[in-house]
Structure 1
Amino acid sequence: MNPASLILLAFAMSTDAFAASIGRGAELRKVRLLSALRIGAVFGVVEAIMPLLGWALGHVAMRFVSGVDHWIAFVMLALLGGHMIWAGVKKEDCAAIKAAETQPENRSIWLIAFTALATSIDAMAVGITLALTDINIIAASVAIGLATALMVTLGTLLGRAIGTIVGKWAEILGGLILIGIGIAVLYEHLAGLASA
């Protein structure tokens, strides 16, 4: 995966957390920078760990699916991307995110971590997919974690000003990016077969 694709992947994976943080920021009367940084850091760490877990699971399964790994990667990324688009269009968030967004401003670190976990399940699925590709998983996980920390911090700070409508479009864009990456994985494999 080239650096541009890695950056796109990292930001695509952060869009659901970004959407949740915009919603949270929109509900707060006063957003403090330190609180936004703390929330961003927790989300970033959780989002960085999940692809590693998925990659480990995918790596174990790779010996069984190596002949069709490119198709699996394409289908999984397309399904994840489609789900993100659908969620953005339907504006349906999971119950954990909605519950976390209605909590008082001084939420505990555990509730923030739970919300981060709820928004990072897709990162674990992407980690499984990444095990089927030629990628440095550490670089990918760090990039995803940093992008998520940045996006959640910004989303929390800007949420009051820009409202929840941006969160919807961010999730749709993230879904489109994941589908595009899936198409690129499939194309690279099929183009490699054609030239061989």
Structure 2
Amino acid sequence: MIKFTDKETKKIQEVLNKYQRLLKCKKQQLQQIGRTNKAITKNKAGCVAETDTMGEWFKDNGTIVLTDSASTGSDFKDSAKQFRGTVAHEMSHAMMNNFDPRTCKSYTNYRKNPLMKEYMKVAGWNVTGTTLTETATDKAPTNYGKTNPKEDLAEATMLYLYEPETLKSRSPKRYKFIKELFEDKK
């Protein structure tokens, strides 16, 4: 793995601070965050290095891996904001796909996770996570968010943390759900 620059480390810490309320469980899914220059994708020819992937969550060993592309995506014009957004997106996968940070329980499948079930209902996904029904007033957070409920939540969380007004205007229901998740109710 490649070492993070000091600036990247500070940006990662900023994102971790935003997730602080969800990091209360003693046993966390996320164990480490690493960096590499390229991702590896499997295709018909075998495994190939590629530069399109910005980051990836590896559930089996609790690792987020960020690539050189983490700051060059198309979500935000500013590269520093894009890097933080990529970290926030991958953190969402780590913290919420197969884990409910409200109860500190793990699930073998995201569709068994109560948090994901609630989110899917709010966001307009069917129970199998294969069909998204958008309305005139509530749209997917991004085009990539239409891929599946896990990407939907990750993209919505990224926007909530770094462009909340964009999420609020595209999807008030998603905004409200994530706001309640991240807000301290004390």
- TM category (shorter chain) comes to under 0.3
Q: TM-score, normalised by structure 2?
A: 0.27
Q: Which has the higher contact order (CA 8 A, sep 6+)?
A: 1
Greater percentage in helix: 1
Q: TM-score, normalised by structure 1?
A: 0.26
Greater percentage in strand: 2
